[in-house]
Amino acid sequence: MTDTGTSLFATALDQFNRGAEIIGLPDDLRSILSQPKNEIIVNFPVLMNNGTYRVFRGYRIQHSNLLGPYKGGVRFHPMVDLDEVKALASWMTWKSALCDIPFGGAKGGISFDPTALEADELERVVRRFTHALGTNIGPDHDIPAPDLGSNAQSMVWMMDTYANSTGATERQSVKRIVTGKTLETGGSPGREKATGQGVVFCLQHWADEVGFDLSGATVSIQGFGNVGSATGKILQVHGARLVAVADHAGAITDEDGIDAFELADWVREHGSVAGFPKAMWIDEEDFWSVPADLLVPAALENQITAANVGRIQARVVVEAANGPTTLEAEKILEQRGIEVLPDILVNAGGVVVSYFEWLQNRSAQRWDLEDVDFKLREILWKACDQVVDIRSELGIASRRDAAYGVALRRLQVVYQQRGIFP
């Protein structure tokens, strides 16, 4: 459950059902795709530095592997629970299908606050979680990646633990068990900024379509972690102006523009936007009413709600986070003519570059950053084109419904050709 008390999986199912409806997905496929294939829960003990053992609960939800291995991040956050991870896992299936990359969908997580642990405790948690998952994950079976609260270092610990649990002859070939690793241990150039880069590519495509000038646009961003900060920096390079930022500590604004690079350094050092000297501190609630062309939620789910949607003055909501808009809020945005660029399209850059990392690991290659960015743009623009096409083919306004339509058609064709075993 989310902190607003609603089921995130119910939101995900509602979105799925609307997409299924518009393309006429047969009922049997609807029932199959309405549930994850596997729900794995592990409880495991970890030695804390005070000498006691703490039992952690971890999850890995494998939603679909029709198009390829299960794929998706692991989230370390106190709010992680079965309902949330099920929703996030299903969104991974649609993301990969929409981008036409050969992956299925999965998500995992551990319900705890990683910032409250010492580094060595955190390492033991990650390694013990990986060990507890055992052969439920695998380099061609289920491939984790970073998500909220986890990072490249967590992935390296997962990879090392997994590699050391396999036979000596396989130790090198299993590197692709996780993506989002550090460059030195087999990560891909461009993976760290990939989600933010993807957000900007999708925005460029949208701007081109609707005749909007991104250079000179004003932007407000909620969440200034990996995704929010990368998005802010890249948009700034393209001439946009960051006018407001909010995170767990509060919100800041400056209509002349906040330097995204300086703010990212500040947040890295101080853990939040609090105290950033070159902007004005505002009430968190007032963040939503700061006038900005682009509103980019890049934090947790269910942030744009019936309670704050009326204050939003943006032209477009850009869902860099997964599931940031509640169903009710989305209806109100539609009525008010504010567009929503949906999460499964806009934030898919992360998993697309994960796919590139996996390919590089398979062939023991290292691509250039230019190659990665070029191929990422190609894949995302193709997906954006298909969303535009299906909107006009089916005469629908919602870009989310359209994105689901493209993804679900792809799954439908494969189900039709493969059939359902036995």
- Residues that are catalytic: 107
Size of the site for ligand GLU (CB under 6 A): 12
Residues of this chain, 300-329, that bind ligand GLU according to CB under 6 A: 322
Tell me the residue number closest to ligand GLU, measured at CB: 73
- Choose between 147 and 330: whose C-beta lies nearer to ligand GLU: 147
Using CA atoms in the order 97, 143, 223, 10, what is the torsion angle rounded to 10 degrees? 60
User: What residues numbered 26-55 form the site for ligand GLU, per CB under 6 A?
Assistant: none
Question: Tokens at residue 350, please?
Answer: 């992360």
- Give the type of residue at 47: L
- 354 part of the interface to ligand GLU, by CB under 6 A: yes
Q: Decide if residue 176 touches ligand GLU (CB under 6 A).
A: no
Which one, 143 or 235, has the nearer CB to ligand GLU? 143
For the chain, the residue count is 422
State the alpha helices, DSSP H only, in 25-118. 27-33, 82-98
Distance CA 23, CA 184 (A): 44
User: Which candidate, 215, 276, 277, places its Cα nearest to that of 249?
Assistant: 276
Residues 6+ apart with CB under 8 A from 165: 131, 134
Q: Which of 179, 325, 360, 398 binds ligand GLU (CB under 6 A)?
A: 179
| CA dist 80 → 17, 57, 106 (Å) | 24, 9, 14
Q: Which residues of 331-361 are buried (b: 16+ CB within 10 A; e: fewer)?
A: ebbeeeebbbbbbbbbbbbbbbbbbbbbbbb
Output the smallest distance, CB 175 to ligand GLU, in A: 15
Q: How far is the CB of 59 from ligand GLU (least distance, A)?
A: 14
351 forms part of the interface with ligand GLU (CB under 6 A) = yes
> 145: closest CA among 73, 83, 91?
73
User: Nearest approach, Cβ of 256 to ligand GLU (angstroms)?
Assistant: 33
Q: Of the two residues 147 and 301, which places its CB atom closer to ligand GLU in the complex? A: 147
Q: Rank residues 76 and 206 by Cβ distance to ligand GLU and give the closer one.
A: 76
Site for ligand GLU in 65-84 (CB under 6 A): 71-73
**């767990």: which residue's tokens?**
248
Q: Which tokens in the block code for residue 320?
A: 């860099």
Of the pair 191, 241, the CB lying nearest ligand GLU is at 191
| Rounded distance between C-alpha atoms, residue 198 and residue 194, angstroms | 6
The minimum distance between CB 71 and ligand GLU, in angstroms, equals: 5
Q: Among 130, 350, 409, 410, indicate the residue that binds ligand GLU (CB under 6 A).
A: 350
Give yes or no for residue 199 binding ligand GLU (CB under 6 A). no
Is residue 411 within the footprint of ligand GLU (CB under 6 A)? Answer: no
Cβ 342 to ligand GLU shortest distance, Å: 13
- CA dist., res. 408 & res. 413, Å (int): 9
Closer residue to ligand GLU, CB minimum distance, 123 or 147: 147
Coil, strand or helix at 379? helix
CB 180, min distance to ligand GLU, A = 6
Which of 74, 86, 78 shows the shortest CA–CA distance to 3?
78
Binding marks (x or -) toward ligand GLU, 128..157, rule CB under 6 A? Answer: -----------------x-x----------
Per the CB < 8 A criterion, the answer to whether 379 and 235 are in contact is no
The residues that touch ligand GLU, with contacts defined as CB under 6 A, are 71-73, 145, 147, 179-180, 322, 347, 350-351, 354
